Amino acid sequence: MASTFKPTTIEEMETDNARLRETACAVCAETYEDRVKAQTPHCKFGEEGICCKNCSMGPCRITPKAPRGICGADAHAIAARNYVRSIAAGTSSHSDHAREILHVLKSSSPDGNYQVRDEVKLIKLATEWGVKTEGRDIYDIAHDVADVGLLEFGKPDGFQLFTRRATEERQKLWEKEGIQPRAIDREVVTAMHMTHMGNSSDAEALVRQGLRMSLANGWGGSMIGTEITDILFGTPTVWTTEGNLGVLEEDYVNVVVHGHDPAFSEMLVTACEDRELVEYARSKGAKGINVVGLCCTANEVAMRHGVRMAGNFLQQENVVLTGAVEMMCVDIQCIFPALATLTQCFHTKFITSSPIARIPGSEYVEFHPETAFQQAKDLVRAAIDNYQNRDQSKVYIPSTKQTATVGYPTEQIISHLDNVTNSHIEELGTYKPVIDAIRAGVLRGAVAIVGCNNPRVRPDYSHMEIMKELIANDILIVATGCAAQMATKAGLLNKESKILCGDGLKRVCELVDIPPVLHMGACVDISRMMLLATGIAKDWGVDITEIPVVGCAPEWMSEKAVSIANYVVSTGLDVYLGIEPQVTGSSQMMELITEGTRKITGAGYIINKDPHELVKSIIEGIEAKRTALGI
Ligand code: XCC
Ligand code: SF4
């Protein structure tokens, strides 16, 4: 049968967006577009990173007439300090999320709300961390593993345990350069200390601390978050699901989960499947309960339950604007405070659940592991009760959606590769087939596309252009976060999208039975990408900087993204950015982040706001790595 697949264009997405703006106008609601206008032009000092308010002699702003702050700090010192502080915030966010999950693991029990779903992974990790496993109860092991994980945050000596997973070359390099990450909290505190008034003004020293601290995220907090989440909720497997606003349903009770921490959303998803509650929804005139995800929470539940994804970061207001959402439940990170006022224009209940993300105007239901499932059921019941309050005159759900195959952690990638190499026993469990395809040139390389969307550029457009161009050039994409959701919306996670690929990648997709963009999860799961690149490098027998694999964040916006970009660079992979970091007011900082880090880690940023130029340089970068490898 001929494929009926058609990718969704940016224009189609923008048409849906425009139609929902009409709803916003009709209910007198403001959206981020209105606020972008009100904030334009942005403060130039902030934009360039040369405003300092680290002490009350300031704020000091650097101009040609006033090249130093009152204490004497220059543009380079100020921009570097601001930059390092954003890495500190990003590292803290991912890592504190991981710490929460560790506490959930610590509370797990056979008859409690949270259980161990992946015992094999738990045992593997216990063994890696030196926790005794023989003859022990699985929950005793789990609690000990949680304790070791929690110690990674504050241990007085030693380095992050997961750094031992890196290639030998990387570990040596980190040690030689003095950027081996110590306890996670220690690295953040050191960064905050260094940037306090009267401490470091040497931009290079600050950038080095940024690299070190970011490693405590990528090879610490984030990796812990991923591992423990897999242990608790299961290592993701391949699911076919759908994405974009069309996943909201007219005649169902729509519950949206949004944020990052799966401990909350897992319970809500389970509650939405509860037979009694589904019956209750039917008794209220709905056909059932439709739970959908937003942002990284969507990625988490899509990969573990096939839950459909309503969209990425800048789509959060659109979801409410459909008028068809009974309840929006959020946990942590990337939640617009604007949702509080926006939901008030509709019948939508806006539930916050974490002491980390308190938002005025929301209903706050603090979530506790001991009572989690009951709380989730109570919330879903309240959502059902709210169904009758939906105002049909305000409802408009765009029909746009795409089929998506999601759930490719490294374990799945390996098992897919094993399926195609079963004749070569020695290749089982390795990345050899990928390496062979890259060597042969069937695949030119791979790009990890990650990060947010951002109104500083045409939202989603940069992602779309870059992804299409890369797959057309036989470059495989692995994606996480809102980038993965953009790929979902565009249809690039549909296996049929192989028609957009070059001949080589198309063949690989057919042979391995994968879409050209592999969904690897949420943003904490960029740790999976680090392990993927490490695995390829190890099987290749080279260091990670040498393989034709790079990172790209075309539309990043958050401080988490700055931390990520730094640990990717520290891991030895170039990072292509479509948004400039806020350090442009310092020539020294611009040099440090693009070239300076190359002398330390072998990688750096390449920055270009034009997606077509950026993708051109990605392809050149990949080809240059190939040439250097002699392939
Ligand atoms: Fe947030 Fe993770 Fe960015 Fe999306 S990609 S806007 S950080 S949800 Ni992480
Ligand atoms: Fe100004 Fe220095 Fe204080 Fe910053 S730390 S506000 S540059 S005096």
Nearest Cα residue to 347 out of 313, 321, 374, 308: 321
Cα–chain center distance at 541: 29
In DSSP notation, 26-82 reads HTT---HHHHHHHHPSPPHHHHHT-EE-SSTT--EE--SS--B-TT--BHHHHHHHH
Q: Please check the confidence at residue 167 and state whether its pLDDT lies above 90.
A: yes
pLDDT tens-digit series, residues 48-68? 999 999 999 999 999 999 999
* pLDDT at residue 256, as a whole number: 98
Q: Are residues 251 and 339 in the same domain?
A: yes
Nearest Cα residue to 102 out of 326, 301, 261, 339: 261
- Strands 475-480, 517-521: pairing kind: parallel
346: tokens are 């509709």
Q: Which atom of ligand 2 is nearest to the CA of 59?
A: 6
pLDDT tens-digit series, residues 559-570? 999 999 999 999
**Whole-number Å distance between alpha carbons of 508 and 515:** 9
Q: Is residue 5 part of a domain?
A: no
Type of residue found at 202: D
* pLDDT at residue 424, as a whole number: 74
Indicate the residue among 233, 258, 285 that finishes a domain: 233
- What interhelical angle do 481-490 and 461-472 show, nearest 10? 70
Q: Is residue 12 part of a domain?
A: no
Q: Which atom of ligand 2 is nearest to the CA of 197?
A: 5
Q: Under a CB-based contact definition with an 8 Å cutoff, are residues 359 and 250 in contact?
A: no
* pLDDT at residue 558, as a whole number: 98
CATH of the domain at 488: 3.40.50.2030
Query: What is the C-alpha radius of gyration for the chain, rounded to an integer number of angstroms?
Result: 24
Q: Looking at residues 122-151, what average pLDDT do you find?
A: 98
* Most ligand 1 atoms within 8 A of CB, residue of 217, 314, 452 to mutate: 452
Q: Are residues 513 and 541 in the same domain?
A: yes
For the Cβ of 522 lying below 6 angstroms from any atom of ligand 2, the answer is: no
* Most ligand 1 atoms within 8 A of CB, residue of 313, 526, 568 to mutate: 313
Number of alpha carbons in the 13 Å side-chain half-sphere of residue 42 = 10
Task: Say which ligand is closest to the CA of 94.
Answer: 1
For the Cβ of 197 lying below 6 angstroms from any atom of ligand 2, the answer is: yes
Nearest Cα residue to 446 out of 495, 423, 413: 413
**pLDDT exceeding 90 applies to what percent of the chain?**
97
* Sign (positive or negative) of CA dihedral 59, 63, 66, 68: positive
Q: Are residues 157 and 277 in the same domain?
A: no
pLDDT tens-digit series, residues 525-544? 999 999 999 999 999 999 99
For the Cβ of 73 lying below 6 angstroms from any atom of ligand 2, the answer is: yes
* pLDDT at residue 1, as a whole number: 57
- Strands 51-52, 60-61: pairing kind: antiparallel
Indicate the residue among 394, 426, 461 that finishes a domain: 394
Q: Which atom of ligand 2 is nearest to the CA of 68?
A: 7
Q: Are residues 201 and 243 in the same domain?
A: no
For the Cβ of 494 lying below 6 angstroms from any atom of ligand 1, the answer is: no
122: tokens are 């738990």
* pLDDT at residue 246, as a whole number: 98
Q: Looking at residues 25-39, what average pLDDT do you find?
A: 97
Task: Say which ligand is closest to the CA of 561.
Answer: 1
Indicate the residue among 333, 362, 394 that finishes a domain: 394
pLDDT tens-digit series, residues 587-609? 999 999 999 999 999 999 999 99
Nearest Cα residue to 552 out of 530, 570, 583, 574: 574
pLDDT tens-digit series, residues 413-455? 999 998 887 667 788 899 999 999 999 999 999 999 999 999 9
Cα(349) to ligand 2 centroid in Å equals 44
Q: Is residue 491 part of a domain?
A: yes
Task: Say which ligand is closest to the CA of 72.
Answer: 2
* pLDDT at residue 73, as a whole number: 98
Ligand 1, atom 3, lies closest to the CA of: 452
According to DSSP, the residues that pair with 242 across neighbouring strands are: 403
Q: Looking at residues 315-319, what average pLDDT do you find?
A: 98
Q: Under a CB-based contact definition with an 8 Å cutoff, are residues 301 and 255 in contact?
A: no
Q: How many CB atoms lie within 10 A of CB 345?
A: 18
pLDDT tens-digit series, residues 186-198? 999 999 999 999 9
Q: Are residues 108 and 164 in the same domain?
A: yes
For the Cβ of 523 lying below 6 angstroms from any atom of ligand 1, the answer is: yes
For the Cβ of 67 lying below 6 angstroms from any atom of ligand 2, the answer is: no
Q: Are residues 323 and 386 in the same domain?
A: yes
Q: Which atom of ligand 1 is nearest to the CA of 333?
A: 1
**Whole-number Å distance between alpha carbons of 431 and 438:** 11
Task: Say which ligand is closest to the CA of 309.
Answer: 1
CATH of the domain at 165: 1.20.1270.30
**Whole-number Å distance between alpha carbons of 404 and 298:** 13
Ligand 2, atom 7, lies closest to the CA of: 69
Mean pLDDT for the chain? 97
Ligand 2, atom 2, lies closest to the CA of: 71
Q: Is residue 10 part of a domain?
A: no
Q: Is residue 476 part of a domain?
A: yes
Please give the backbone phi and psi of residue 608, each rounded to the nearest 5 degrees, phi first: -160, 125
Cα–chain center distance at 568: 13
For the Cβ of 53 lying below 6 angstroms from any atom of ligand 2, the answer is: yes
**Whole-number Å distance between alpha carbons of 90 and 83:** 11
622: tokens are 């990949």
Q: Under a CB-based contact definition with an 8 Å cutoff, are residues 161 and 145 in contact?
A: no
Q: Is residue 269 part of a domain?
A: yes
Q: Are residues 145 and 256 in the same domain?
A: no
**Whole-number Å distance between alpha carbons of 412 and 403:** 19
Q: Are residues 462 and 431 in the same domain?
A: yes
Q: Looking at residues 326-348, what average pLDDT do you find?
A: 98
Domain count of the fold of the chain: 3
For the Cβ of 54 lying below 6 angstroms from any atom of ligand 2, the answer is: yes
* pLDDT at residue 422, as a whole number: 63
Task: Say which ligand is closest to the CA of 62.
Answer: 2
Q: Which atom of ligand 1 is nearest to the CA of 313?
A: 6
For the Cβ of 336 lying below 6 angstroms from any atom of ligand 1, the answer is: no
Q: Is 8 helix (H, G, I), strand (E, B) or coil?
A: coil
Q: Are residues 450 and 592 in the same domain?
A: yes
Q: How many CB atoms lie within 10 A of CB 386?
A: 18
Q: Which atom of ligand 2 is nearest to the CA of 72?
A: 2
pLDDT band at residue 2, thresholds of 50, 70 and 90? low
- What interhelical angle do 222-233 and 262-272 show, nearest 10? 20
Task: Say which ligand is closest to the CA of 314.
Answer: 1
Type of residue found at 396: Y
Ligand 1, atom 6, lies closest to the CA of: 452
Q: Are residues 544 and 435 in the same domain?
A: yes
Ligand 2, atom 6, lies closest to the CA of: 58
Spatial neighbors of 462 by CB under 8 A, at least 6 apart, are 554, 555, 578, 611, 614
Task: Say which ligand is closest to the CA of 293.
Answer: 1
Q: Which atom of ligand 2 is nearest to the CA of 53?
A: 6
In DSSP notation, 141-200 reads HHHHHHHHHHHHHH-SSS--GGGGGS-HHHHHHHHHHT-----HHHHHHHHHHHTSTTS-
Nearest Cα residue to 256 out of 199, 345, 318, 211: 318
Q: Are residues 551 and 420 in the same domain?
A: yes
Cα(523) to ligand 1 centroid in Å equals 7
Ligand 1, atom 2, lies closest to the CA of: 296
236: tokens are 């993701």
Nearest Cα residue to 406 out of 490, 517, 498: 517
Q: Is residue 338 part of a domain?
A: yes
Q: Are residues 350 and 464 in the same domain?
A: no
Full residue range of the structural domain in which residue 258 is found = 239-394
178: tokens are 């003095």
Q: Is residue 589 part of a domain?
A: yes
For the Cβ of 74 lying below 6 angstroms from any atom of ligand 2, the answer is: no
How distant, in Å, are the alpha carbons of 200, 353, 384, 508 from that of 362? 41, 10, 18, 48
Ligand 1, atom 1, lies closest to the CA of: 334
